[in-house]
A and B are shown apart, each in its own frame.
Chain A
Amino acid sequence: MSQTHRKDGGLIDQDKTITFTFNGQILRGCEGDTLASALLANNKHLVGRSFKYHRPRGIVTVGSEEPNAIMEIGSGAHKEPNTRATVTQLYNGLEANSQNHRGPLSFDLMAITDFFAPLLGAGFYYKTFMWPKAFWEKIYEPAIRNSAGLGTLSKEPDPDTYDKGFRYCDILIIGAGASGLSAALTAASSGAKVILADEDFLMGGRLNSGTAKVDNIPGSEWAKNAVAKLSAMDNVTLMSDTTIFGVYDHGIYGALENRSSESREDSNKPRQVNWRIYAKKSILCAGAIERSIAFGNNDRPGIMLAGAVRAYINRFAVATGEKVSVYTNNDDGWQTAKDLRTKGVRVVAVIDSRSISPVMPIQGAEIFMGTDVVDTKGRRALKSITLSNGKTIDTDSLAVSGGWNPNLHLTCHHRGIPKWNEEIASFIPDEATPPGMSVAGRAKGTMMLSDAIKEGHELGSTVASDLGYKASDLKAASTPAVPYNVVANWGVPSGKNRAWVDFQNDVTAKDVRLANQEGFKSVEHVKRYTTLGMATDQGKTANVLGIGIMAENMGQTMEETGTTIFRPPYSPVAIGAFAGRRRGMEFYPTRYTPSHKWSEEQGAVFVEVGMWYRSQWFPQPGETHWRQSVDREVIKTRSSVGICDVTTLGKIDIKGSDVSEFLNKVYVNAFAKLPVGKTRYGLMLREDSMAMDDGTTARLAEDHFVMTTTTANAVNVYRHLQFCHQILWPDLDVHMISVTEQYAQYAVAGPNSRRLLQKIVDPEHDISNEAFPFMGAGAITVCGGIPARLFRISFSGELAYEIAVPTRYGDALMRAMMEAGKEFDVVPYGTEALGVMRIEKGHAAGPELNGQTSAYDLGMGGMVSGKKDFIGYKLGQREELLRNDRMQMVGFKPVNKGDLVDKGHSMAGAHLLGLREEATTHNDQGWISSSIYSPMLGCYIGLGFIKDGLNRKGEFVRAVDLVRNSDIEVEICSPHFYDPEGGRLRV
């Protein structure tokens, strides 16, 4: 028989049946059910096994604070562990499986741990598994790992997608229950922009789980009408199934919107959207969460919180049992008994720990005042309870209420500290809430519904008027005043029976006592030592109970004992939701060069340089190893001509009447007198005198320069120049803008480079050696009037130019030059060949400009001007930096030319040591910063830094690489291995 415990009515659609499975068994529920309510409708109370002791456990709550009913939902790659059944909306085909058992749920083989419970108390792992020492790694740890953990992962990539979003509002109202809806109605009436969010898929809060009448109609109907009214307003955004999980700085809130029903229909849609909400003000109307009472064996399936039992019968039309009993310390627990009776469910007993008169008559129930529950029976399903007066009661569902805790989590995200309120025996929010946040209703400690509605209603209007909006004159909804009286009851002595506090982490009252006994006096220490409140539910139903027990143990007040720190997220958020779209190719953007399409056509191999894709080399048919391609590109460029896309290097256009003075201050060398039409190499230092970046800067007009930077530092240098301009010397007339992307730029290098260019440069521009000497620069036109810029600079050491055209012509120019260069056997070359050639030539680059090297260390001391101040000058006068035996940049070549060739790797990263010294850091003299195989020299070479290098040319040392196991003799030499005189540059 299906849905044996389903009654009539409720806020579900009993005409729409939904089929789902639990542990392989096919079950039925209705639209509007959660997985938990559907399981209870089918009388399934046993839903899992506890974390440590593998005790049978049942559903406890009706909300996101659920400690026990956590399951694996879905299968295959979609499987998600630790999902709370109480907030999972039921859908057709839902597959749920219980967690944490070996063998079937009803006969968990791991339950043997329950018998060892006396040995496994709080902190047991600090006192056990220590001997013998050798056993830890091979036996204890693997065994613990095997039995520990909650839920299993599919280990497959998440097939769902997630998205992010940004929303702005005047007022964010958190919680759409009675006070939240009231606040929203008044706030929205003022014209303020309102976002109303609720973690439930059905707005209304406890109006949906109770029977209170509001404005003379059922509370759930009033809620429905309020929601309809709000959704018709343009200035209101409703976000149901959305958890506000964090309060961040500056009025920013994290919100997780669940859109899984949409993504089930269309797998292209995101399953969840992680919103960043910017709110000028917020009103927290998060209600309250019920707490339990610690008594012997209080964790059996069938023992639930009273408010939850009430919600199940009212909202979901599900009876949690056939003979229900209630155990409470407050008036509210009686409401559950009353609502059960109204729906025709048998209530066998109401047990109230307070010594007062019964709160109301409950037909057919035995009433016990001033009494407690001390024990229960029924391992897999509750069978009976034993009272403090000795009586035993047959019952299959016990509804427990230890009181209500204002849900003040979010008020404490900025380190607020809740205050204990004796009247309601609960913590209430600190006055100091996060900036902009007010609190209304039960979240504030205003327990009566009538007061909560009024509070929300007034606050909506007040907060709106704080922002300059005037609310309409609306009347607050009315509801009969129902008082809330409570006397704190943390539990009764349970003897040898265990009284559970934190269900999910299996922490008992005895564990808390043990922690106190062992000297853990701070609530933060007790939390970590016992793990109370550290599970996925973060102890929402357990923390205050634990604090109460601790306070009693230590003879302290609740205020003195205090709470632990509250941190976002309020409830678990999948890592995927934080990642959003940052997966695969979208992890960050990809930047493509102007020659990318052409390079792809050539079958180029690409390398990631920051976000850029650059051609690394261009393999030709028949080439099977990258060295073949790179060596060929070097040889052909040096013997004829090669072309390389250098667009990615930073280009900064600088104009103004004070530019040359500005450049003088940022470079170590002089630029003020650079003639128009000339380029100069410049070195830029940090304030601490370490080399920051280098490049060439060309003067195109009296007040117009174009600076280049390395690819990696393009943004850094631009920022640095802006800092200098805006902060250091704001009086200088200097204007700069990046033109890295404005021009496609290509290096054309080799003895035939000029001949190639002469075929595309328009004839009116003379680029002969005489008319356009080395380091010349100027505007020209190419291919029939296309504007271009030409710079005669060389990174490779060959006769070379860099030619720039507006990027719209970048692809066309590459093709035109390759066509024009056919007669010279032109080769495209990539970043590898580029690197080989600059190392052969002895040019410093990124690996040498590593932040630890000064201009002198780089062998550029001669460039440093003695006639002007520049950034880095002052701190360059420090004694250590003026020593002449610092680690200086020189070249290294193997004594045996063939060394490393058979190993197939370079000297990069090797450290330099004396010929007979032990390879220790003490004997370390320096390191190899860049190293490649030189096709021109026929051996590996390197650039590096060695102590007193400039004075040691000709000496032999060792290059030792302990990672790749090589140790070779090298000769210290000039870094300019190829064409040291520079003759090839100037032809």
Chain B
Amino acid sequence: MSDYEMLAESPLGGVEIEMDGFNITEVTDKSLVMVALPREKFSEVESSIDQSCGLKLPEMERSTESKDSSITLWRLQKNQVLAYFTYEGNDAESHLSSRLSAPAYYTDQSDTWAMIRVSGVRSRDVLERICPIDLSPEVFPVGGVSRTIMEHIGTIIFRDGDDSYVLLTMRSFGRSMLHAIEVSAENVL
């Protein structure tokens, strides 16, 4: 028993903002682990993940989701997938590696990113003020994921619903990113 109690903090304190046709919520129930695919082991990793979770490796800028929706894999780089999964504990790396059972390299990224979900019928109207990539539904389908820069902040954007996107920025930029989204909403709505 330690003398010191350590409380975990999420990057944005669990912020939740409701506006007209547009909502901003911090995602706090997901963890992130980078899964690096060793050279010459791609197919081995692929079949292990298929066996353990029924998941295929996604195409570039796409994702695949496990049947129970607890794990999503994002492909942003040829030799890496970013695993986005439901877990809030301190051992994301070992938790994921035991679920995937694949001979890959795992590196925890759960604390690296601030995750903000923007949703609602007006989400694309708001995002077009800061998002330089094409968000038209035909071009960026549900399950699509991409990297871009929004207001000088490197951002990963993942479409997790018809009118719902999760934006990830490095944790230290979280406040600036939230502000950029809020200003966009104020300007547009």
Is there contact, CB below 8 Å, between A812 and B9? yes
Q: Given A657-B38, A741-B172, does the pair A811, B9 have CB atoms closer than 8 Å?
A: yes
Q: Which of A268, A593, A809, A810 contacts B186 (CB 8 A)?
A: A268
Report B-chain residues with C-beta under 8 Å of the C-beta of A785: 90
Is there contact, CB below 8 Å, between B112 and A738? yes
Q: Which residues of B from 124 to 175 have beta carbons under 8 Å from A?
A: 128-134, 136, 139, 151-153, 170-173, 175
**CA–CA, A740 to B107, complex, Å?**
13
Between A and B, 29 residue pairs with Cβ closer than 8 Å are A165-B129, A166-B129, A166-B131, A167-B128, A269-B187, A581-B151, A589-B153, A590-B175, A592-B175, A655-B107, A733-B39, A735-B79, A737-B109, A739-B108, A739-B109, A739-B112, A741-B112, A742-B111, A742-B112, A743-B111, A784-B4, A784-B6, A787-B90, A806-B111, A807-B112, A808-B110, A809-B6, A812-B9, A813-B6
Is A723 an interface position by the 8 A CB rule? no
Report A-chain residues with C-beta under 8 Å of the C-beta of B39: 731, 733
Is there contact, CB below 8 Å, between A168 and B139? yes
CB distance from B155 to the nearest CB of A (A): 11
Is there contact, CB below 8 Å, between B171 and A807? yes
Is there contact, CB below 8 Å, between A653 and B107? yes
Report A-chain residues with C-beta under 8 Å of the C-beta of B172: 591-593, 612, 741
CB distance from B111 to the nearest CB of A (A): 4
Residue on B nearest A655 in the bound complex, by CB: B105
Mostly, the B contact residues are loop
CB distance from A136 to the nearest CB of B (A): 45
**CA–CA, A733 to B131, complex, Å?**
34
Is there contact, CB below 8 Å, between A270 and B170? no
**CA–CA, A581 to B182, complex, Å?**
13
Is there contact, CB below 8 Å, between A276 and B111? no
Is A783 an interface position by the 8 A CB rule? yes
Q: C-beta contact mask, A550-581 vs B, less than 8 Å → 1, else 0?
A: 00000000000000000000000000000001
Report B-chain residues with C-beta under 8 Å of the C-beta of A166: 128-129, 131-133
Is A820 an interface position by the 8 A CB rule? yes
Residue on B nearest A653 in the bound complex, by CB: B107
**CA–CA, A740 to B109, complex, Å?**
10
Residue on B nearest A805 in the bound complex, by CB: B6
Closest 3 CB pairs of A and B: A735-B36, A589-B176, A784-B2
Q: Given A164-B129, A741-B172, A813-B6, does the pair A270, B187 have CB atoms closer than 8 Å?
A: yes
Q: Which of A193, A593, A653, A762 contacts B2 (CB 8 A)?
A: A762
Give the number of A-B contacts (CB < 8 Å).
143
Is B7 an interface position by the 8 A CB rule? yes
Report B-chain residues with C-beta under 8 Å of the C-beta of A819: 4
**CA–CA, A973 to B5, complex, Å?**
49
Residue on B nearest A167 in the bound complex, by CB: B128
**CA–CA, A588 to B111, complex, Å?**
23
Q: Which of B2, B171, B187 contacts A163 (CB 8 A)?
A: B187
Q: Given A655-B36, A806-B90, does the pair A165, B128 have CB atoms closer than 8 Å?
A: yes
Is there contact, CB below 8 Å, between A783 and B6? yes
**CA–CA, A787 to B111, complex, Å?**
13
**CA–CA, A805 to B8, complex, Å?**
11
CB distance from A274 to the nearest CB of B (A): 11
Report B-chain residues with C-beta under 8 Å of the C-beta of A743: 111
Report B-chain residues with C-beta under 8 Å of the C-beta of A760: 2, 4
Is there contact, CB below 8 Å, between A168 and B136? yes
Is there contact, CB below 8 Å, between A581 and B107? no
Query: What 17 additional pairs, Cβ within 8 angstroms, besides A703-B105, A735-B80?
Result: A166-B132, A269-B186, A581-B151, A655-B107, A656-B38, A656-B105, A733-B38, A735-B36, A739-B108, A739-B109, A741-B112, A742-B108, A759-B3, A783-B4, A784-B1, A784-B5, A808-B9
CB distance from A287 to the nearest CB of B (A): 29
Is A586 an interface position by the 8 A CB rule? yes
Is B179 an interface position by the 8 A CB rule? yes
Q: C-beta contact mask, A152-176 vs B, less than 8 Å → 1, else 0?
A: 0000000001011111100000000
Is there contact, CB below 8 Å, between A586 and B111? no
**CA–CA, A735 to B110, complex, Å?**
18
Q: Given A586-B179, A657-B38, A737-B34, does the pair A787, B132 have CB atoms closer than 8 Å?
A: no
Is A895 an interface position by the 8 A CB rule? no
Q: Which residues of A from 784 to 809 have beta carbons under 8 Å from B?
A: 784-787, 805-809
**CA–CA, A269 to B129, complex, Å?**
13
Is A945 an interface position by the 8 A CB rule? no
Report B-chain residues with C-beta under 8 Å of the C-beta of A807: 111-112, 171
**CA–CA, A270 to B184, complex, Å?**
10
**CA–CA, A675 to B44, complex, Å?**
30
Is A77 an interface position by the 8 A CB rule? no
**CA–CA, A783 to B172, complex, Å?**
24
Is B66 an interface position by the 8 A CB rule? no
Is A278 an interface position by the 8 A CB rule? yes
CB distance from B15 to the nearest CB of A (A): 15
**CA–CA, A88 to B34, complex, Å?**
55
Which of A165, A168, A593, A657 gathers most chain B CB within 10 Å? A165
**CA–CA, A784 to B173, complex, Å?**
30
**CA–CA, A762 to B2, complex, Å?**
8
Report A-chain residues with C-beta under 8 Å of the C-beta of B111: 741-743, 806-808
Q: Which residues of B from 84 to 103 have beta carbons under 8 Å from A?
A: 90-91
Is A816 an interface position by the 8 A CB rule? yes
Report B-chain residues with C-beta under 8 Å of the C-beta of A276: 132
Is there contact, CB below 8 Å, between A163 and B4? no
Report A-chain residues with C-beta under 8 Å of the C-beta of B179: 586
Q: Which of A741, A782, A813 contacts B170 (CB 8 A)?
A: A741
Q: Which of B90, B132, B170, B171 contacts A786 (CB 8 A)?
A: B90
**CA–CA, A733 to B6, complex, Å?**
38
**CA–CA, A168 to B36, complex, Å?**
34
Q: Which of A167, A731, A735, A784 contacts B105 (CB 8 A)?
A: A735
Report A-chain residues with C-beta under 8 Å of the C-beta of B128: 165-167
Q: Which residues of B from 7 to 23 have beta carbons under 8 Å from A?
A: 7-10
Residue on A nearest B153 in the bound complex, by CB: A589
Residue on B nearest A276 in the bound complex, by CB: B132
Residue on B nearest A590 in the bound complex, by CB: B176
Q: Given A165-B128, A168-B139, does the pair A809, B8 have CB atoms closer than 8 Å?
A: yes
Residue on A nearest B1 in the bound complex, by CB: A784
**CA–CA, A589 to B10, complex, Å?**
19
Is B60 an interface position by the 8 A CB rule? no
Report B-chain residues with C-beta under 8 Å of the C-beta of A806: 8, 90, 108, 110-111
Report A-chain residues with C-beta under 8 Å of the C-beta of B153: 589
CB distance from B128 to the nearest CB of A (A): 5
Q: C-beta contact mask, A716-740 vs B, less than 8 Å → 1, else 0?
A: 0000000000000001010101111
**CA–CA, A268 to B183, complex, Å?**
9
Report A-chain residues with C-beta under 8 Å of the C-beta of B36: 655-656, 735, 737
Q: Given A167-B128, A586-B179, A742-B112, does the pair A812, B171 have CB atoms closer than 8 Å?
A: no
Is there contact, CB below 8 Å, between A816 and B6? yes
Report B-chain residues with C-beta under 8 Å of the C-beta of A810: 9
Q: Which of A164, A168, A588, A812 contacts B6 (CB 8 A)?
A: A812
**CA–CA, A161 to B187, complex, Å?**
10
Q: Which residues of A from 234 to 285 have beta carbons under 8 Å from B?
A: 268-270, 273, 276, 278
**CA–CA, A743 to B108, complex, Å?**
10
**CA–CA, A650 to B59, complex, Å?**
30
Is there contact, CB below 8 Å, between B107 and A737? yes
Report A-chain residues with C-beta under 8 Å of the C-beta of B90: 785-787, 806
Residue on A nearest B175 in the bound complex, by CB: A592
**CA–CA, A533 to B68, complex, Å?**
68
Report A-chain residues with C-beta under 8 Å of the C-beta of B186: 268-269
**CA–CA, A278 to B134, complex, Å?**
9
**CA–CA, A807 to B174, complex, Å?**
13
Report B-chain residues with C-beta under 8 Å of the C-beta of A588: 152
Q: C-beta contact mask, A348-362 vs B, less than 8 Å → 1, else 0?
A: 000000000000000
Report B-chain residues with C-beta under 8 Å of the C-beta of A809: 6-9
Residue on A nearest B91 in the bound complex, by CB: A787
Q: Given A168-B134, A739-B107, does the pair A589, B173 have CB atoms closer than 8 Å?
A: yes
Report B-chain residues with C-beta under 8 Å of the C-beta of A740: 112, 170
